[in-house]
Amino acid sequence: MPREAEPSLNERQFVLQALQENLRLDSREADRYRPLEVTFGDEYGVAKVSLGKTRVLAKASAEVTVPYADRPLDGVFQIATELSPMASPSFEVNRPTETEVLLSRLLEKTVRRSGALDTESLCLVAGQKCWSVRVDVHVLSHDGNVIDASCFAVVAALRHFRKPDTSIEGGILTVYTPAEREPVPLGWLHSPFCVTWSYFGEEGEMALLDATRAEEQVRVGSCTISLNRHGEICQIAKLGGTPVEAVILLQCTAIALTKVKEFSAYLDKKLAEDIKRRDAGGRSAELTAENDR
Amino acid sequence: MTVSAAPEAALSVLPRADGSAKYSHAGYTITASVNGPIEAQRRDEHPYEAHVDVVVRPAAGVGGTRERHLESVLQSSLTQIILVKNFPRALIQIVLQIESTPGNDYVNTKLFQASLNFSIMPALFQTAVLALLSAAVPMRATATASVVAVVSQDKEKKLIVDPSAREIEAAQSVHVLAFTSHDELLLAESEGDFSVKEWDDVYETAKKICCQPESQKAGIEMVPDDDNARGPDMRQFLRSTLEEKVAADLHWK
C-alpha cells in the first residue's frame, strides 16, 4: 500500500503561518468543532457520526457466551476498531497501524475502563452465561480527529442499542427474539467523550480543537482528554510530542468540559428524537417488558 | 423495519476516496470505496495487468471464510469488466463496507462470527460497479446483478426476486446472476437443490431484471405488464443514477 502523502514544505509553512496569524484553513476558531452530526439506522445500535469530512460508523451487537473464568459475575464487553483502506489507502487490512492501535487503546480506556457500561448487569447465570457486547467501529473517511468522532459514535451506538430480553425460570434461560418481546436497553452508567487538543508552535503554545488532517500532519503534539458531563475525568493521554505547559493543559481541560456538556446534550436530544420517531403509534410503553428500578 | 422496494444509490459519498458509492436495496445498505490505480504491493504486482483487490467488511464481527469466498467471486468477475491491461503493475482497491442487512425478527443471530448470506452478493456487486464508475476506472462494460430464490409452494415452484431473510430460509435454491451491459452472463452462482429447467427459468427472470432494453427513451411511458413489474429494472436504475450525478456535477455549465 502507498504511504500517506506527507505535506510539502509549502503546505506546512502555509498552515503554520496562518495559525501564527490566528487563522485556520477552514476559518474556524481555535476551540470550535466542525459540525458534528449523528444519525441512527433502522436497526438498534447503529450510529453514524460525521464530523466535517470525517465519517465513522459504529455498530453494537450482543450475544450470549460463557463469562471469563476469573470474572464469573461480569459480562464481556469489547470494542473492535479496524481501520480499512476505505479511510485512507495507507491503511492495510490485517496490519494495524499506529493510528489504529492508539485509537483502540484510547476507546478502551475511555469507554470500557471508565465503567460506562455496567458489565455486571450483563451477567445472566453466574459463571455460566453472560451477554457479550461488542461494538465495531468503522472509519469510513479519515479527515482528522478520528478519536473524538469514534468515541462519540461508540457511546451513541451503545446508548441506542437494545439487547434481546431474557428470563430465567427453573434454571432454564430463555432469550426472546425481537418478535416475541421488545428488546431492552443496556445498563448505562455515564457517557464519557473524548476531546482532542492539538498543539502547534515551538513550545506547543498554540492549542487547537478538532484538527483536520492537514493540521494533524503538522502538529507538534496532541492531548486527548476523556471526561463526562459531570467533569469526571476518565483519562488524559499526552503521548510524546513537544512538552506543554501545565497551565495550558488546565485551560484545555476546562474548555473540554464545556465541549463535553455540549456533546452530551446533543446526544440526549438525538436519542430522544429517535425514540419519538420509533414510537410512532405511541405503544412502546405497553410493549416493553422492562420493570422500573 | 421498513425495507425499501426500489434500489437507492448515491455516488461519491466519501470525500477522501477516489470513488465511492452508497447503495441500499431490499434491506441491505452498503458503502463502497474505490482507490485506484495506486501502487501495488510487491506480492500483488502483475507485470501485464492491474491487480483488483476486493475487501468485504461485515457490519459486526470479524470476517471469515464466507467473506473471503464472496471476495474471491467478486474479484474474479470484476476483473473481467475492468480494463486491467491498461494499468500494469497497479492496484485497484475496492472496499465494501456492509452497513446494514435485513433483520430477521424471528431468530437471534450469532453475531461475532459474521457469516454473510449469499443473497448479499448482488448488492455488493452493484455497489462495487457504482463505486468503480464514480472513480472513473475504465471498464469494458457496466454490469447489473440480481438474486432469485426458488421456493416450492403447494407442490409448485415459485420464483422470488430479492427474497427476504425468511424466504431464503424456506427456499430450495438461491441463485445470483450478473449480466454485463452487452447482455452477456458475467456471474452465475447457485446454492441448493435445483433442476436445469429451474435454472433456465431463473436465468430468464434475472435477465429480465438486469437487461431490460431501453424502451422508455422516446418519452412514451410503457404500461408495465405483470411480468415486468416483478422486479426493478436494474439497468435503467444504474443509468439514471449516473445521469443524476453527471447532471449535478455539470450544474455550473
Which residue type sits at A55?
R
Residue A259 in grid coordinates = 465541549
B92 to chain A, any CB pair closer than 8 A? The answer is no
Q: What is the pLDDT of residue B65?
A: 84
Average pLDDT for A134-152? 94
Residues on chain A touching B111 (C-beta within 8 angstroms):
61-63, 134
B241 has a chain A CB within 8 A of its CB: no
**pLDDT, position B119:** 81
Best residue of B112, B113, B166 to probe chain A, by most A CBs closer than 10 Å: B112
SS3 string, A131-164, reads EEEEEEEEEEECCCCHHHHHHHHHHHHHHHCEEC
Pick from A86, A130, A154 the residue to mutate for testing the B interface (most B CBs within 10 Å).
A86
How far is the CA of A135 from the CAs of A46, A112, B111, B167, in angstroms? 9, 11, 11, 29
Location of C-alpha cell 403447494: B154
Q: How many CB pairs under 8 A join A and B?
A: 90
Residues of A in contact with B15 (CB under 8 A): 53, 141, 143
A63 at B interface, C-beta within 8 A: yes
* Window from A201-205, A284-288, B99-103 with minimum mean pLDDT: A284-288
Taking CB atoms and an 8 Å limit, are B41 and A164 in contact across chains? no
Contact A57 B110 (CB under 8 A): no
- Whether the model clears a pTM of 0.80, i.e. scores above it, the answer is yes
Q: What pLDDT does B224 receive?
A: 47
CB A190 within 8 Å of CB A207: no
A164/B108 Cβ within 8 A = yes
Name the β-bridge partners of A109.
none
Report CB contact under 8 Å: A57, B41: no
Closest CA to A42 of B67, B59, B41: B59
Instruction: Give B87-142 pLDDT, tens digit per residue.
Output: 999 999 999 999 888 776 666 655 545 556 778 899 999 999 999 999 999 999 99
**pLDDT band at B222; cut points 50, 70, 90:** very low
Confidence of residue B187 (pLDDT cuts 50, 70, 90): very high
Please enumerate in sequence order all residues whose Cβ is within 8 A of that of B15, keeping only pairs 6 or more positions apart, or say none: A53, A141, A143
Query: Of 3.30.230.70, 3.40.50.720, 1.10.510.10, 3.40.50.460, which CATH number belongs to B8-249?
Result: 3.30.230.70
Structural contact between residues A193 and A265, judged by C-beta atoms closer than 8 angstroms: no
Which chain B residue's Cα is nearest to A132?
B112
